[in-house]
Structure 1
């Protein structure tokens, strides 16, 4: 799957409509020109830069939210007390105003446009279009949940998308599109929690042999980590401990002891089957092994993100990374960008969308207009609303020092600091000291 455009409005700090456009100006018609492919007309790397709290992450969060609605509105979200949403909160009227989300993408060689709008009660509108000779409606639904164009589905609940409900019914015409959207994106969040979850997944995949051990070692060697061998250590939970956990989880009642002995056998078995896995690393020729907790933060961050990168490049996915460069050396971040930009490496047309504070990565926008189009900025105005804009909106001379001009504030998207206020914090008066 390939992403052409993502448009959203009234989500978190974005009050007004914003569009992340990954198409090149060469795409002037609904289909690629003769002799070209879709991958010739899209960006494979787009970076988003801006000050802290400017709203960079909210661009990715809007995409995460849209995919969440698509994936869960007909299942787990129906159990929520209120329809989940995050409108612009600084203006009261925006809290009840509709929020819109739209994806234009390529799946199986065809161009689709999918959009929906939400309010506090659920879905207000939804539609899916596909290009044949021109845009053609596949289906649509209105605020009342009435669906037009999906055979066998004439109405859905106010809080669920027709696409999500159709996927639950395994509807032949749109379920493949739902699956493509669910599998076509990999969202990588910043933080130790994400790294730990990815490392746990790596350990499981190594044991299941769905991830090649030598491939993981090669990935570690690319970053010069010194790792020469990786293995998985497993520990099953002891039956007695599993029984104690099951008793703790059992519902409390007057005859809870009897229930714990009579009805918790299934829970005990489930917990006993849980296996804790840990990666063990060997460095050089030494026989000693280090646990993942003993390795550097940077090594674990590289393995966690690196496996996601390799998976995206193999499958042609859209990898979305918040704070690319977090815990990584700038050369490794640059290397990831180069892989996605290199057609000899990126043979599937995979795409990378990232946010970053690493100014060295801005040099990716130096040179031709095609390079400048891949650089985005986010700036928050005095009213608290974020704006997304492109480097190509500015007039630049050939060979412009983009990093220097950015730090000078010529493109916006930089923090306006007040360093002298530190004196207010350090020069405490006598009353405060007492």
Structure 2
């Protein structure tokens, strides 16, 4: 379960920004210790940095998962920092994640530049007090807390200047650190845009459809979505010429090489309520998106993990995207405390036009860029909106910022002035 995520110097995020999933009590309410929200939605203008907040969390997971075994020892750290006007990279990048595992709070983070790990730390908080597990103050300088048992020094000798100690510890089967590594790597699921990401999500759906009990849940959710679909099923399909050529290219064989890609592959087809059977490629984008999100959603709910979805409203009707949010917020369905973090432009999720309030004020976040192109991230809760305040209207009116400013008179001038006239 995520508590907070902090990041600095990643893409458009220059200065340190914090996304918190800790509940914010209303006025007059007593704060509950480590009470968390199940949903966090990020809103903002196009290119304001919403996706960069989510990609920063994905990059942190990537660094933890791959730095020790897959990063080249001679190629430094593959980060994507904020670009200065000169085109040069700026200061070190920083990521930190606060999370609960087995009821215990941990805080893990690191700082890197283009070449190496500058700092790395892991703390825990028994009875509210900070207990250090390890603290790295340079590429090869680490001090360990007394409570961190295991072959810490041996693992230190195997840790490269450009690999994370947590990654190296997991590769060498450290008991506690491997457990925390697996928690971060395996319980945060990402749903991004693009055909490749959709294919990877559908791959999980195919795996789940092989389990009759899970397939029953998926098919009931497909039917309830009113897509005109009765069931999703697995079948053996012959790949197209384009798919074979893509597989050859992925294997580096070239168009004339031999490939096993010509053999049959498993795919999904949908049996419609009309009786027709269509391959998934013949279905609408909305149908594919809903089905592809179900696999990651069910995996997160089953494990108490986190689904991070970029532009959750893309191709989905507002009632479908709001249904997904309500699934995560429903304590009967979401018994393990799974969380949904998403970016969206769908302001209906902020208002009351749907059946009931979808998102609470401490579940809404905004991104905004300054004149230098740097993103700031802030919470709606900072504005202390009234209980009866129309959040959707207030947002669209610019009351909370994070909306584009469009001067329609300037647009009219584009069409009325000649090409040589100054706008």
Q: Which TM bucket (shorter chain)?
A: 0.7 to 0.9
Instruction: Find the partner of 1:220 among 203, 222, 225.
Output: 222
The separation in 2 between residues aligned to 1:140 and 1:200, in whole angstroms, is 39
For residue 225 of structure 1, report the CA deviation from its aligned partner.
Answer: 1.3
Looking at CA atoms only, which structure, 1 or 2, has the larger radius of gyration? 1
Structure 1 residue 21 corresponds to structure 2 residue 16: no
Do the aligned partners of 2:206 and 2:268 also contact (CA within 8 Å) in 1? yes
Q: Tell me the residue number matched to 1:361.
A: 349
Q: Tell me the residue number matched to 1:229.
A: 231
Q: Tell me the residue number matched to 1:310.
A: 298
Deviation string, structure 1 residues 358-386 (Cα, Å, up to 9, x no partner): 0011138x999x92111111111112111
Q: Tell me the residue number matched to 1:6.
A: 5
What is the correspondence of 1:147-166 to structure 2 with a 5 Å cutoff?
147-149=142-144, 150-155=152-157, 156-166=159-169
Instruction: Find the partner of 2:386 among 397, 402, 418.
Output: 397
Deviation string, structure 1 residues 17-57 (Cα, Å, up to 9, x no partner): 1001111256xxxxxx9xx885xx00111111000011111
Q: Tell me the residue number matched to 2:70.
A: 76
Q: Give the TM-score of the pair, scaled to structure 1.
A: 0.83
Q: Tell me the residue number matched to 2:407.
A: 418
Q: Tell me the residue number matched to 1:115.
A: 109
Q: Tell me the residue number matched to 1:328.
A: 316
Q: Tell me the residue number matched to 1:282.
A: 271
Q: Tell me the residue number matched to 1:264.
A: none
Q: Cα gap change, 1:413/1:94 in structure 2, threshold over 3 Å: closer, same or farther?
A: farther
Do the aligned partners of 2:13 and 2:49 also contact (CA within 8 Å) in 1? yes
The separation in 2 between residues aligned to 1:179 and 1:413, in whole angstroms, is 36
For residue 399 of structure 1, report the CA deviation from its aligned partner.
Answer: 0.5
Instruction: Find the partner of 2:366 among 377, 385, 388.
Output: 377
The separation in 2 between residues aligned to 1:330 and 1:250, in whole angstroms, is 42
Q: Tell me the residue number matched to 2:28.
A: none
The separation in 1 between residues aligned to 2:239 and 2:13, in whole angstroms, is 47
Q: Cα gap change, 1:410/1:138 in structure 2, threshold over 3 Å: closer, same or farther?
A: same
Instruction: Find the partner of 2:193 among 187, 190, 194.
Output: 190
For residue 251 of structure 1, report the CA deviation from its aligned partner.
Answer: 8.0
Q: Give the TM-score of the pair, scaled to structure 2.
A: 0.85
Deviation string, structure 1 residues 207-249 (Cα, Å, up to 9, x no partner): x4387332221121120112123322214679xx99xx98996
The separation in 1 between residues aligned to 2:153 and 2:220, in whole angstroms, is 49
How many pairs align? 400
Deviation string, structure 1 residues 68-88 (Cα, Å, up to 9, x no partner): 110111122226734211111
What is the correspondence of 1:137-176 to structure 2 with a 5 Å cutoff?
137-149=132-144, 150-155=152-157, 156-176=159-179
Aligned to 1:173, what secondary structure does the other structure show? Answer: helix
Aligned to 1:63, what secondary structure does the other structure show? Answer: helix
Query: Segments of 4+ in structure 1 off by > 6 A?
Result: 245-252
For residue 429 of structure 1, report the CA deviation from its aligned partner.
Answer: 4.6
Do the aligned partners of 1:10 and 1:94 also contact (CA within 8 Å) in 2? no
The separation in 1 between residues aligned to 2:319 and 2:284, in whole angstroms, is 17
Q: Where do 5+ consecutive residues of structure 2 fail to align?
A: 26-30, 145-151
Do the aligned partners of 1:15 and 1:94 also contact (CA within 8 Å) in 2? no
The separation in 2 between residues aligned to 1:127 and 1:410, in whole angstroms, is 39
Q: Cα gap change, 1:247/1:316 in structure 2, threshold over 3 Å: closer, same or farther?
A: closer
Q: Where do 5+ consecutive residues of structure 1 fail to align?
A: 27-32, 261-266
Q: Tell me the residue number matched to 1:29.
A: none
Do the aligned partners of 2:108 and 2:122 also contact (CA within 8 Å) in 1? yes
Instruction: Find the partner of 1:86 among 80, 83, 90.
Output: 80
Q: Cα gap change, 1:211/1:234 in structure 2, threshold over 3 Å: closer, same or farther?
A: farther
Structure 1 residue 132 corresponds to structure 2 residue 126: yes
Q: Cα gap change, 1:250/1:23 in structure 2, threshold over 3 Å: closer, same or farther?
A: closer
Q: Tell me the residue number matched to 2:148.
A: none
Q: Please, what is the CA RMSD of the aligned residues?
A: 3.3
Instruction: Find the partner of 1:102 among 78, 87, 96.
Output: 96
